Amino acid sequence: MDRQGALAALHAAVSAFARDFCAADERWCVALSGGADSLALTAAAAKLKPTTALVVDHQLQPNSAAVAATAGEQALTLGCVGAQVIRVDVGAEGGPEAAARTARYRALEQARGGAPVLLGHTLDDQAETVLLGLGRGSGPRSIAGMRASDPPWGRPLLGLRRSVTRAACAELGVAPWQDPHNSDRRFTRVRLRTEVLPLLEDVLGGGVADALARTAAALRADTDALDDLARQALAEAGSGTGLDTTRLAVLPEAIRRRVIRGWLLAGGASGLTDKHIRGVDTLVMAWRGQGGVAVGSPLRNQRLIAARRDGVLSLHTEPVYADRSPPPARRK
């Protein structure tokens, strides 16, 4: 694809996304890192709607403030109506990649002012996501990858390769920032990008990234259909705020576990994993009088527990003690 073709493909992709998912939005934001993907996206977005660039400074590198400032200036040059640099403090929970992602999305959510936020994920990012899900055994929902529209987040470039965004930046005459973290082998995605995917392309004769993206699209269609069935089953299995295990037990496994997931999320669970859902499923299908199952809770000092009593699953919270054990009972 020549450079002019790359720029045309970029504009076509963002225009189609605007038509299909953001027709009613008068403005939008772009998450801008300064890299080729987000710079190219910013340029295309600014031609279609009033666009504000949101530049998150993770403060993980000595020159991060200068990089963020440059990205903001480039956004204005490319036609954005505004550019906001947001400094965040990155924690350590879940590892460096997960912690940075959590801080970034939280900052974008707070800064977007009700507008959708466009993200520069490409087909290559989608392929890496699917491969990660496969390697970790995370289940079909993870292997289904990222959605083009997952409000308030939008990903117009999921059908384009990174080579297209780089060529588009060259045509625009803008210099993308080269994040040193993108070549740091300590990060799992970097090794997937630079070692695993090239090896698979070589062994399988090319086309692996496109094939992984097609796999994600097919799984999303299947997942959407199963989720619709699960929503109906959840309504039928409801017993007050709990779930009737008799109704759950007759459901196919794929539907039953989706019902459990939907119920847990509605009850306030967060950070759900396949292990959590399988644990609660044992309360339905392998009930032997066992105790409850702890699932992810957004409350720092509380655990959310799914338990079974009289054939009904219910949720309750329990305090978390520093030594992981309750205080001794008082003598009477």
- The identity of residue 115, as a single letter, is A
Domains 6-214 and 240-319 belong to one CATH topology? no
Residue positions forming the annotated binding site: 33-38
| Per-residue confidence in pLDDT tens, the chain, 332 aa | 544 599 999 999 999 999 999 999 999 999 999 999 999 999 999 999 999 999 999 998 889 999 999 999 999 999 999 999 999 998 877 677 788 889 999 999 999 999 999 999 999 999 999 999 888 887 888 899 999 999 999 999 999 999 999 999 999 999 999 988 888 888 888 999 999 999 999 999 999 999 999 999 999 999 999 999 999 999 999 988 899 999 999 999 999 999 999 999 999 998 888 899 999 999 999 999 999 999 988 777 888 999 999 999 999 999 876 555 555 544 43
Strands (E), 245-301: 293-295
Residue positions forming the annotated binding site for ATP: 33-38
Whether pTM exceeds 0.75: yes
User: What are the structural domain ranges in the chain?
Assistant: 6-214, 240-319
Q: Which CATH class is domain 6-214?
A: alpha beta
Q: Print burial letters for 180-211: b (CB count within 10 Å at least 16), e (below 16).
A: eeeeeeeeebbebbeebbeebeeeeeeebbee
- Which CATH number applies to 240-319? 3.30.465
How distant is the alpha carbon of residue 18 from its chain centre?
20
